[in-house]
Structure 1
């Protein structure tokens, strides 16, 4: 098989020296497609294949890539591993089992940070993944600078190739965030409620409960109020949450056991008043 490359295209292109994902002799097109999808999830586009068993391009890979078409189109194919890594200055080899030799071994978190640090220096890096059945040979691992392995259960350490790529892609993306705990979106910024809002709400609640005979027997009211204050002051409510609770308590003001439920709401009361007007005898 001759070396083959296509031009990277949107989204993202290949402008940054982000790590190349190199699959050695992948067997199933479906796995290649799922690898492309995992890469696209975390902004990687540089996929390289060494002697894919079923050739390239592969319709099954395209079908399972789930719109990661830009990764599929940019995929490069090589007949030798040495050619696939020739332009790289630093290479990780993934493996699930101990290897002979003197290579350092990193976990995925450390590897992600290392790759980001080298990216900032403008270095071309790569991560090597082996065959679905038996991974990388010792000779292939020897071509890498460092081994990366995952903290999996030793009794069941086998990972699907797309899972392994997903884990490394995630760690690479996370290491590039301003804070590693960041996400693409957050919940709304909530303005903490002032003590004035909080105490006003508790007073409102006290009056509503008083009118409905909640504080029984009367001599226990002070203790019951203390318990209510403890409940509503501990969580540090946001102002918007206090408004929701005020709305709930306000709804109690429009309810009387002697009326149908909700009959006291302003719009229903106005309608009831209109219905109660006597008919015009001259009509």
Structure 2
């Protein structure tokens, strides 16, 4: 099964219940987030996943490189990913520092800190995965907006240490995305593939405006075919931030997600 449930898709589902529910549906992979893992306990979470036959497909998230303790926090994130057996640590670059308009400088800092972190990640068997976010998040969350930018930052480092995330919600608008996916495949940089849909009009809360698979405007199957053609054979994480989905009981949300995944992604 290539389907992997990113934990934020069923955000209100407690970790023990999520593990039980995924195992009951034959789901074998989950993408975890650092905050709920910390609440449950790192070692306890790892044991919980193993006891239910679940592979941790990624850990979210590292990055936010403009923050003062960014280097130390990202090293901790790498260590946490290694402890969970997660092969990928997703990196969201962070936005502009308060009061700054220096976008080029912010991107340069992202590249500089990734260069410092890459060997450390390699020592721990963890791959840093740079995730470009939609340009509407550029000022406050992620100064890396395109797949080309992410690949350029990753390029100086071994592919085993630094790759990229292809997330349909963030990249569907980019006319160069297909060329970027092919480039990522040729250079061995495709670390993770995530799916969600884009609904119109966007809900008021932009951060929680991702659509259920099939409800929006993204040709999800075209993305899946493109990453497959680029040689990606890894998990496909469903990562949907949506208030209505979060209000559903966990088992119902998972059942709906699995059904839409089969209809619109595979």
> Shared fold (TM-score greater than 0.5)?
no
TM range (shorter): under 0.3
Choose between structure 1 and 2: higher strand proportion: 2
Larger radius of gyration: 1
Q: TM-score, normalised by structure 1?
A: 0.23
Choose between structure 1 and 2: higher helix proportion: 2
